[in-house]
Amino acid sequence: MISSRAQVTEMIAAAKVRKGLKWADVAKEVGLSKEWTTAGCLGQMTFDKKQAEIVGKLFDLPDEAVAWLQIVPYKGSLPTAIPTDPLIYRWYEIVNVYGTTIKELIHEEFGDGIMSAIDFSMDIQRESDPKGDRVHVVLSGKFLPYKTY
Amino acid sequence: MISSRAQVTEMIAAAKVRKGLKWADVAKEVGLSKEWTTAGCLGQMTFDKKQAEIVGKLFDLPDEAVAWLQIVPYKGSLPTAIPTDPLIYRWYEIVNVYGTTIKELIHEEFGDGIMSAIDFSMDIQRESDPKGDRVHVVLSGKFLPYKTY
Amino acid sequence: MISSRAQVTEMIAAAKVRKGLKWADVAKEVGLSKEWTTAGCLGQMTFDKKQAEIVGKLFDLPDEAVAWLQIVPYKGSLPTAIPTDPLIYRWYEIVNVYGTTIKELIHEEFGDGIMSAIDFSMDIQRESDPKGDRVHVVLSGKFLPYKTY
Amino acid sequence: MISSRAQVTEMIAAAKVRKGLKWADVAKEVGLSKEWTTAGCLGQMTFDKKQAEIVGKLFDLPDEAVAWLQIVPYKGSLPTAIPTDPLIYRWYEIVNVYGTTIKELIHEEFGDGIMSAIDFSMDIQRESDPKGDRVHVVLSGKFLPYKTY
Amino acid sequence: MISSRAQVTEMIAAAKVRKGLKWADVAKEVGLSKEWTTAGCLGQMTFDKKQAEIVGKLFDLPDEAVAWLQIVPYKGSLPTAIPTDPLIYRWYEIVNVYGTTIKELIHEEFGDGIMSAIDFSMDIQRESDPKGDRVHVVLSGKFLPYKTY
Amino acid sequence: MISSRAQVTEMIAAAKVRKGLKWADVAKEVGLSKEWTTAGCLGQMTFDKKQAEIVGKLFDLPDEAVAWLQIVPYKGSLPTAIPTDPLIYRWYEIVNVYGTTIKELIHEEFGDGIMSAIDFSMDIQRESDPKGDRVHVVLSGKFLPYKTY
Amino acid sequence: MISSRAQVTEMIAAAKVRKGLKWADVAKEVGLSKEWTTAGCLGQMTFDKKQAEIVGKLFDLPDEAVAWLQIVPYKGSLPTAIPTDPLIYRWYEIVNVYGTTIKELIHEEFGDGIMSAIDFSMDIQRESDPKGDRVHVVLSGKFLPYKTY
Amino acid sequence: MISSRAQVTEMIAAAKVRKGLKWADVAKEVGLSKEWTTAGCLGQMTFDKKQAEIVGKLFDLPDEAVAWLQIVPYKGSLPTAIPTDPLIYRWYEIVNVYGTTIKELIHEEFGDGIMSAIDFSMDIQRESDPKGDRVHVVLSGKFLPYKTY
Amino acid sequence: MISSRAQVTEMIAAAKVRKGLKWADVAKEVGLSKEWTTAGCLGQMTFDKKQAEIVGKLFDLPDEAVAWLQIVPYKGSLPTAIPTDPLIYRWYEIVNVYGTTIKELIHEEFGDGIMSAIDFSMDIQRESDPKGDRVHVVLSGKFLPYKTY
Amino acid sequence: MISSRAQVTEMIAAAKVRKGLKWADVAKEVGLSKEWTTAGCLGQMTFDKKQAEIVGKLFDLPDEAVAWLQIVPYKGSLPTAIPTDPLIYRWYEIVNVYGTTIKELIHEEFGDGIMSAIDFSMDIQRESDPKGDRVHVVLSGKFLPYKTY
């Protein structure tokens, strides 16, 4: 009996290591970006039927798991509010150190509102650099203004 | 008596509103990006003497405050571990929802290590879009590998 | 020296009691709903110049405070993550008890996405009822779908 | 052995995906609103015998589970005090940003007291809008006054 | 400038010690129980005009403070979620140790619902006992049933 | 293997639903108040041999479980420090809103000390009321004075 | 205006350093143990009139402060739930590491109940030891049994 | 497969109840104080080979468990930072109420440093008292001075 | 099915006790420092294929576990944010007590930036000392400067 | 009136910036290591009379402040349990990622016990490195064994 998406995420994690799959390859099969596809496989996005079946085949999932991939999951991928993993913590630190800066600059440009985390996309690339390669990330989120009413 | 950088940040906040300054203009005077300059004015970065004097003049700061701008501050700009402000929260949410995805994809490309939040830059721009303008952010952080020893 | 919006909110709170003003009347003067206007006076929304001047006059605010009303505030009105005030706690309880229900029903109707808290309005009214009057609240938030990319 | 309502909620979650049921249809069978019925199925409300048997049949539950549906559950549906799921978080954010506003306006209209979360109903509907459909929610809670004694 | 009820509570605390007043006597003057009156003086209840003026006179409060006594306060009297004071902690302990028992017995008698903390009264008395006097407390709260809808 | 009282509490919870027992009836069999007996069955009190055997028979417990009922349990019945369940939360709210009031009045009557939560009893009754029945609770705790030494 | 015992504790702390007083000497003047007297001066115990006047004279306190010393304080002397100070932390660690041991042994000897922290005394002495002197502490608390009712 | 000391502690807890053993008797067999022995059985101390074998025999442990008893455990015996169990909480309360007192008196006698929780022993005894027996506890910890360097 | 590195860490922990292995010996077989090797075995570092196979052989791990050893783990080895284990807590205490000192001295020598925890090594040795042997630890982390941009 | 060491630390912080002092120079004047001296100036260590007078002269402190420098402070230098400052966080991360490793290796070498944070010294040096200079830190803490009793 599968009673939560978390169980499916564990199945995917196990199969990925067992079969030596790569997220970039999974994404190609699914036909979407590696960022969205990985987030989906890690239990954060909702697949449509066709996508779910592809994912199911790649990771040898039972039908019940394929059905769960099409259910909107309870989101949030971190075990603690402040992440302990160094790679993820650096992102938390960016939000903590630069949080008020980001806020000031978006408001200066756009006025009161937010940058959407829903109408949003992310692209992560390697950036060659003689002093050591860099992680180059583009975040694009629609600006949503607060309106008076 | 000024006994912490936080007091200087408050002086800057007060002067900015009183004088109607813009971060982009402050940055031009200082000669650096608006992201770094704003973070500095908000108490997260360390100015050198010349930069501090420019900031001091723009915000009518006393000499003691200008001296504090050259002292490395205790960083972290948020009053709570999970930010309540909607704009900043959306960034926390991105880290929470996409955290494991970011981790997987950086490791898939680079192996074990992190994206530096120190050897790091950020660029925030308006991205025109007929369906509603977007906030376009580029983050660039050096990849730092874990090494065996 | 005013260095944060919180100081202006305190001035408004003091003046409101001293002068015996009502939010509904303030809202009429400002020309907006009582919900948005009150949120603005309590430091959660950003006034434009004309609105800020009206608020300033009603609450006898100095010019510096009127300037701060036009600055986007750091939002979040509660002193603790779980509110202790019984009226506000009941709303937290609704989110806690009905949270997964709200999630399920919005997803069943709209698919994956959220109800916006930015493109959002709220209307609070007295609902007459022989068994005891009721608080009748209408919340309206734009549905924002997650999209694949 | 079933020793908590949580186990029954998991059985319902599993069966719902497996059988492709919809909450609206379940509610019709039970003969109550979709909001109350869903909350009940998610372990937040108490069914009477007849309702429990209908739910049991729809979700193929064993007799023991049907008995548990008639037991008042330990309520609270969220795994963390501040919800990580973006849809539910937006509701938490509304409480955080508008909390003091809601408090002020209810007190202005009714005096000291609360809006009940027990003598309470909720109705969630799709609101057509050319700029993008909206989630339209009506909350109705009895006003309960504090009394002197 | 008085900008919060907390300031008035401090004035009352200071005056009570300075003038050596007793809560029971204050209550007699106000004409209500000692429980409600004390809670009001400690910033948890709302006085009407006449009551506020009596309190104001007893504690030598300025007019502005008397006005604040008539404003619904932000409730919650404890500095930490889990109280450190031994007397108050024992009450927290009773809730923690007996919480599920209280829940079970009220539900067994009344069905699903709660005991109101709003339509509520409390009476604290000394109970003579040869083995050591006891604190005898009567709590009376209206039962509020959850209803289907 | 039973390695904690919590396992026995789960067995009792399961048997109670399965067999449709009532706490009041269990208490009559045990020969004690319904409050103490329920707290015992929920893992908060220690039964003597005879009582444990009666409980064991009523709930069909194995011998090992009956032995565990005679072991002093690790007390505390709530899964979170601030309870999410509305019925139990109301009690937490009473402690939070009235905490300083209870403290002041007990000290005014008795001096410095506490109301014991150990030498303590509780009685919960239905109180008929034409405006809606009430939950009437009597708490009785020995006053324990702080002494100088 | 003195509105809390904390202010008096600060006055005592300041005077103690300024005048170079020792707790042991203060205790002798007051006529009680150094443990109880120090706890009282640090805002945890209640002095009677005569004791308060002695303390007031020793620490040059104003009359208002002497009045506050006779008021039962809100207890708890630590700024954080888990103490950061190494000396105090070691005591927290003893509770954490030995907590279940202490529980088991007291129950084995006395049955269900607690060791009182109210009917309690503490004595701290230097214990000479050739391998390094030791802190020798005697804690004595009345055993309070849970009783059936 | 035993992969943590916690599993061994559970085995001991189960066997103790099943076999009706007493800590004092276990300690006699092991040849050490009841305090140290109990702490060891509860997963806080490390047994040597001979001691572990005695414990293993008394509690019918498999060889693998006996091996684990000789491994230094991850210490800390409480499920929450602030203990909910009343007996253990009283000790936490002593640290909270008397924490600064203990600190002041040890420093007054010894200067800056701590009382060790490692080079430490504890002795718990029944103290007969006509007004009710007491728990008499002696704690002895080596004083460790901070030194300059 | 192995679905997380934590399961592999448990297998290693179990095998280490069962087989009586020493970390220093494991490190020699792997050909790296005992610090890095132990961290890897405890689920904090990533092994290459050859290293993983050696570890697998030493701890009798199945192939699937050996594959997981080559996957970058989610790092963080402590069950609570503030460690309860005395040995690890002392390190937390050093960070807490000396944290601002370390910060000041590194900035005084290097300017603004950090000491890397990634380009980092640690060496733990016994330091003979007639007054009692010492733990001698060398930490070496690359200094990473904040740069302007 | 100075009522806590924190006030003295603020005076030192203010004077240090105003006068442009360096910790290394202060340490030379005091005649101790820069690590201990800085910790002392930041409110974590206790100066003797002579040292305090030197510190007082260097930072222009009033006599009352010099007296406070000789009082054992309440230790802990961080505003939050998990530090937000990136430099200090890296040290927390080392404890979190390597915590269990440090524990295992010290126990493997020394048996059960801890590395003292009291009988402890720290030395921070610049380590030249062609690939970028490093922070080289030596920690030396006496091993303190747990003993049986």
The ranges of chain B with pLDDT < 50 are none
Length reported for chain E: 149
> pLDDT value at position I20?
97
Residue with tokens 């065996």: B148
**Tens-digit pLDDT profile for residues A59-71:** 999 999 999 999 9
Put simply, the answer to whether G38 touches H104 (Cβ < 8 Å) is yes
The closest CB to that of H82, out of E82, E86, E97, belongs to E82
Q: In the 8-state DSSP scheme, what is residue D73? A: P
Collapsed DSSP state (helix, strand, coil) of residue F47: coil
Measured between CA atoms, how close is D76 to chain C, in angstroms? 5
Question: C44-59, pLDDT tens digit by residue?
Answer: 999 999 999 999 999 9
- ∠ CA A48-A50-A51 to the nearest 5 degrees? 65
Amino acid residing at B7: Q
* pLDDT the model gives residue D93: 98
Q: Which amino acid is at E59?
A: F
- In chain I, which residues have their Cβ closer than 8 Å to the Cβ of J144? 132
Task: Give the end-to-end CA distance of chain G in Å, rounded to a whole number.
Answer: 48
To which H or E segment does residue E102 belong?
A: helix E86-110
* Predicted local distance difference test score (pLDDT) of residue C1: 92
Nearest to B147 among I74, I119, I148 (CB): I119
pLDDT at B3: 96
pLDDT under 70 in chain D at which residues?
A: none
Chains contacting C (3+ CB pairs below 8 angstroms):
A, B, D, E, F
Please tell me which chains touch H, using 3 or more CB pairs under 8 Å as the contact test. E, F, G, I, J
H/E run at residue D116: strand D113-127
Residues of A labelled as active-site residues:
90, 93, 116
Give the list of residues 6+ apart from residue B53 with CB closer than 8 angstroms, or none: B66
> How far is the C-alpha of J135 from the C-alpha of J137, rounded, in Å?
6
| Per-residue pLDDT at J8 | 98
* Positive or negative: CA dihedral J2, J3, J4, J7: negative
Q: Is the dihedral of CA C7, C9, C15, C18 positive or negative?
A: negative
Reading the block at residue F46, the tokens are 């220690």
> What's the mean pLDDT when you consider all of chain D?
98
> How do residues H98-124 score in pLDDT, each as one tens digit?
999 999 999 999 999 999 999 999 999
Instruction: Write out pLDDT tens, residues G38-63.
Output: 999 999 999 999 999 999 999 999 99
Candidates E42, E68, E70, E75: best to mutate against C (most CBs of C within 10 A) is E75
From CA D89, how far away is CA B85, in angstroms rounded?
12
**For J37-50, what is the HEC assignment?**
HHHHHCCCCCCCHH
Q: Which residues partner with G122 through β-bridges?
A: G139
First to last CA, chain A: 48
Domains of chain C, earliest start first:
5-68 (1.10.260.40), 86-145 (3.30.1160.10)
* Complete edge-to-edge strand list for the sheet that includes strand F113-127: E113-127, E134-145, F134-145, F113-127
Q: Which two tokens stand for residue B104?
A: 């997987």
Q: For residue range D92-132, list pLDDT tens digits in order.
A: 999 999 999 999 999 999 999 999 999 999 999 999 999 99
Q: Is F36 helix (H, G, I), strand (E, B) or coil?
A: helix
Question: Strand, helix or coil at H99?
Answer: helix
Q: What is the mean pLDDT of chain G?
A: 98
Q: Do D93 and B96 touch (CB under 8 A)?
A: no
- For chain B, give the mean pLDDT: 98
pLDDT at E149: 97
What residues of J are in contact with residue I96 (Cβ under 8 Å)?
A: 75-78
Mean pLDDT computed over C106-119: 98
**Alpha helix stretches (DSSP H) within chain D:** 5-19, 23-30, 34-41, 49-58, 63-68, 86-110
- Give the Å distances, CA to CA, from C29 to C33, C50, G134: 10, 11, 73
User: How much of chain C, in percent, has pLDDT values that exceed 70?
Assistant: 100
| Cβ atoms within 10 Å of E48's Cβ, excluding its own | 11
- In this prediction, residue C51 carries a pLDDT of 98
H20-40 per-position pLDDT tens digit: 999 999 999 999 999 999 999
Q: Dihedral (C-alpha) G70, G72, G78, G79: value to the nearest 10 degrees?
A: -90
**DSSP secondary structure, J49-70, as one string:** HHHHHHHHHHTT--HHHHHHTT
Among chain F residues, the shortest Cα distance to D2 is held by: F14
- Sign of the CA dihedral with B59 first, then B61, B63, and B69 last: negative
3-class secondary structure, E135:
strand
Of F140, F112, F109, F111, the residue nearest F124 (C-alpha): F140
CA distance F77 to F45: 11
I133 chain-J contacts, CB cut-off 8 A: 110, 142-143
Which residue stretches of chain I have pLDDT < 50? none
**pLDDT of res. F120:** 98
